[in-house]
Amino acid sequence: MPALILDGKALAQQYEQELSARVAALKEKNGGQTPILATILVGDDPASATYVRMKGNACRRVGMDSLQVEMPAGTTTGELLARIAELNHNPNVHGILLQHPVPAQIDERACFDAIDLGKDVDGVTCLGFGRMSMGEPAYGCATPKGIMRLLQAHDIRLEGRHAVVVGRSPILGKPMAMMLLNANATVTICHSRTQNLPLLVQQADIIVAAVGRPEFIRAEWIKDGAVVVDAGYHPGGIGDIELAPLIERVAAYTPVPGGVGPMTINTLIYQSVEAGEKKLA
C-alpha cells in the first residue's frame, strides 16, 4: 500500500480559505480593521528576509495586515527590547514575530521573553512554553504546532504510540516532545550526541527529525510502517532524513519541501487570526 503523503502545502491552502473567511468576518464587525502581525527583522540575512517576506505574503493572502519592522545589524539588545515594548503596547498589533536568528550581540532569549504572552503567536516565550507543557492556554511554537495540525488533519493516531523526536531546540524539538506527550504518545527525545541513536530510531512508530543536519537520519534506521515527519530543509531540497528509500515502506511521510514548512507559516497566521479575534470580536 503506498505511503500517505502528508502534504502540508495543500493543507495550508485549504486552511487559508477558512482563515480568509474569519478575517472577512472580523473586518465586517470592526469597520475594516484586521488582525495585524508585526514581524521584526534584525540585520540583512537573506534567508531571514525571505522568511519574513513569505510570512507577509501569507498575511495578505488571508486579508490580514502586516507591520514589517526592520532594524540594522548593529542593533543592541536594549534597542530591540524597546521596539518590542512599543509593539506590546500598540493596541492595533495582535501578534509579534521576532525572526530567528538575531545578530550575535543580541540576547535573543531576553528579547523572545519580552514579547507579551497574548501576542506571542510564534510560541517562543518561556512562559508560553511552560503553559503549553502544562496543558494551559498558550500559543504553541509554530513549527511543532504546525506538525500537530498536519498529523491531526490526516488522522494519524498518536495515543499510545512511541514517538521519537531527534532534536532539542527550544523552539522545535523540546516543544514538539511536549505536544506529543500531551497527545498521549510515549516520547523519547534524542539529539546529535545520543548514543545508540539508530537503535532508538528503530523503535519509533512516529519519527520527527529536527536535528538540522542533512540526511542525518538514515533510511535503514526507520522501521516499516512508521510515520516520518521531517522538519529539516537544506540546499538541494533535502531534509534531515534520507527519505527516498522510505517512500515505499513507511505508512506516511512529509515531503521536503512541501510538508512541514507551509504548515509552520500557516500556523503563525492561524494563531495571529486567533489573537486578533480575541481583541476584535
Grid cell locating 190: 534524542
CA distance 199 to 102: 36
Query: Of the listed 65, 120, 122, 205, which one is catalytic?
Result: 122
- Is residue 174 part of the annotated active site? The answer reads no
- Is residue 65 part of the annotated active site? The answer reads no
Grid cell locating 91: 493596541
Q: Which of 211, 57, 66 is nearest to 229 (CA)?
A: 211
Query: Of the listed 7, 55, 65, 271, which one is catalytic?
Result: 55
CA distance 28 to 228: 42
- Is residue 55 part of the annotated active site? The answer reads yes
| CA distance to 37, 63, 182, 224, 230, per residue, from 4 (Å) | 34, 32, 24, 13, 14
Query: Of the listed 7, 65, 99, 113, which one is catalytic?
Result: 99
CA distance 57 to 92: 19
Contact by Cβ (8 Å): 151, 11: no
Catalytic residue IDs: 55, 99, 122
